[in-house]
Amino acid sequence: MIHARPGVVAAALATSLVLASGGEKAAAQQDAVRLRMRFDAGHTVRMRMTMDQQISQTILGQPQNLEQTTEMVYAVAVEEVDAEGTAVVEWTYDELRFEQTSPMGQLLYDSSDPNAAVSPMLAGYAALVGASFWARMTSTGQVLDVWGVEPILQKMLDEMALPPGPQSEQLQEQLRNQFGDQAMREMLTRMMAVYPTEPVVVGDSWTSRNAITSGFPITIDATYTLRERRGGVAFVDVAATVESTPGAGGMQMGGTTLEFDLSGEQSGTLEIDEISGWVVRGTVAQDFSGQVQVDAGQAAAQSMTWPISIKGTMNLELVNEG
């Protein structure tokens, strides 16, 4: 059985001007606004991201249903900002909770309960709490560089205490696909690189394309629409299509190759602070399906294909600012 890794699909940032009140409100709605992050050195926010997923598979005629919830709280600290608005930002795993229910049983890790027994399968999660990595990010949300991830990966492997051998090498490969430099860069890009290139008014739309290479390769084509501005908040609707990237190959797991042929949609709403650009809250639902193909190399008898569907909801919330 294939256990889906927690993940995070689609998040976004935008900014706009504060609305006037009374009789000036209608006119203010028509003002063009430039949407972008305004990083402030020394500023810190705490951001909670929760992903609920229901994954259904039918393998050899048997249903294999899986439900999982991943909740992460990041402490996000802006360390420095240059004249162009590009910032060095520290991302720290402040809190983490992961729960999964499948035919294999239940798995649970909760950093708020450090004395609870932890399954060896989830021991690496304990290494994330308190760990930090850094990113250089532009005011339009582009991620120029990511560093500090490799020590986190090594700490996770040390926490799992696996003996040297093929299993350890396979796990290291999986962790790098999920938490490596490229994975973190792509995760931050999905969260923050959503700005239009020109000023917009209510009703305007803009698009973005993100090619995800970590894990199983997918391409996300998103359309953002500035629906409303109210009370210092910009309300942005999000609609996206998700498809497996043609010709990108599969995900390697030891001597096995997993290829996902998926397509579907994501939709939701983001509420953005108009002055700073930080997300206040956001919800994005996902619904896609397709099939999984497993190629076991020379073990042709073990190669197989089965259907899969994934439904889920991602919630993003600004917990507090400092």
- Residue 18: pLDDT above 60? no
Q: List, for residues 256-265, the tens digit of each pLDDT value.
A: 777 889 999 9
- Which of 121-125, 174-178, 316-320 has the least mean pLDDT? 174-178
pLDDT in tens, 73-131: 999 999 999 999 999 999 999 999 999 999 889 999 999 998 888 888 788 888 899 99
Domain 22-321 class, CATH top level: mainly beta
- Of the two residues 80 and 27, the one the predictor is more confident about is 80
The answer to which of 53-57, 123-127, 170-174, 183-187 has the lowest mean pLDDT is 170-174
Query: What is the chain's length?
Result: 322
Minimum mean pLDDT range among 156-160, 226-230, 271-275, 290-294 = 156-160
d(CA 31, CA 47): 29
- Report the range out of 149-158, 204-213, 221-230, 288-297 with the highest average pLDDT: 221-230
Within 13 A of 122's CA, how many CA atoms are on the CB side? 20
Domain ranges of the chain: 22-321
122 vs 108: CA distance, rounded Å: 8
* Whether pLDDT at 25 is above 60: no
- CA quadruple 92, 97, 101, 104: dihedral sign: positive
Q: C-alpha distances in angstroms, 177 versus 127, 201, 216, 257, 261? A: 17, 39, 9, 14, 18
Is the backbone of residue 156 left (phi > 0), alpha (psi -120 to 50) or beta? alpha
- Highest-confidence range of 279-283, 286-290, 304-308, by mean pLDDT? 286-290
